[in-house]
């Protein structure tokens, strides 16, 4: 990361400094009004060193699917775009209740897609949500069975 973003990371930490880029003699500084808003998946432990470097330089605001302002996003979006799919919000809530670690919680973004259909929900669950959970429950297929879409949709 330092080889690619080293100058930027330095300037983000020392906002009042000016540097010369590695391949340029042109002075470079960040504008004073620059704000960076980014997201980060805390469940991905393979980036622990990057995570540490970023946490030293930035403020963090946690957003979890079970707390405001995220907790009602999916339900509101489905109410506006696909009221017949409101059951999806219940399924996500049930699945998240089964997870012991809120850093692994399933967020609403898997389902916030244009033209929502039941098939699209099933596809997102099968090819996005379940593979993520499968990685977490590696070697424990019985645990993964708790997250079958039909089971959760039926109420648990």
What DSSP assignment string belongs to 79-143? HHH-GGGTHHHHHHHHHHHH-S-GGGPPPGGGT--SS--HHHHHHHIIIIIHHHHHHHTTT-HHH
- Give, for all 156 residues of the chain, the pLDDT tens digit: 667 778 888 888 888 899 988 788 889 899 989 888 777 666 555 666 666 777 777 777 788 888 888 899 999 999 999 999 999 999 999 999 999 888 889 999 999 999 999 999 999 999 999 999 998 888 898 889 999 999 999 986
15 assigned to some structural domain: yes
Residues 94, 51 share a domain:
no
Where in the sequence is the domain holding 79, given as residue range(s)? 73-153
Residues 144, 98 share a domain:
yes
Which tokens belong to 108? 């609403």
64 assigned to some structural domain: no
Residues 92, 29 share a domain:
no
98 assigned to some structural domain: yes
- In total, how many domains does the chain have? 2
20-40 per-position pLDDT tens digit:
887 888 898 999 898 887 776
Residues 23, 51 share a domain:
yes
- pTM over cut 0.75: no
Tell me which H or E stretch contains 19: strand 19-20
């Amino acid at each position: 990361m330092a080889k690619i973003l080293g100058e930027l990371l330095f300037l983000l930490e020392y906002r009042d400094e000016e540097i010369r880029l590695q391949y340029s003699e042109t002075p470079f500084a960040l504008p004073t009004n620059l704000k960076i808003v980014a997201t980060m998946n805390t469940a991905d432990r393979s980036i622990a060193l990057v995570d540490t470097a970023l946490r030293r330089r930035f403020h963090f605001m946690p957003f979890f699917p079970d707390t405001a302002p995220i907790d009602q996003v999916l339900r509101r979006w489905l109410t506006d775009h696909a009221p017949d799919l409101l059951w999806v919000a219940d399924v996500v809530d049930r699945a998240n209740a089964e997870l012991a670690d809120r850093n692994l919680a399933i967020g609403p973004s898997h389902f916030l897609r244009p033209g929502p259909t039941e098939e699209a929900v099933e596809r997102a669950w099968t090819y996005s949500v379940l593979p993520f959970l499968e990685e977490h429950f590696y070697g424990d297929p019985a645990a993964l069975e708790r997250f079958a879409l039909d089971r959760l949709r039926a109420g648990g």
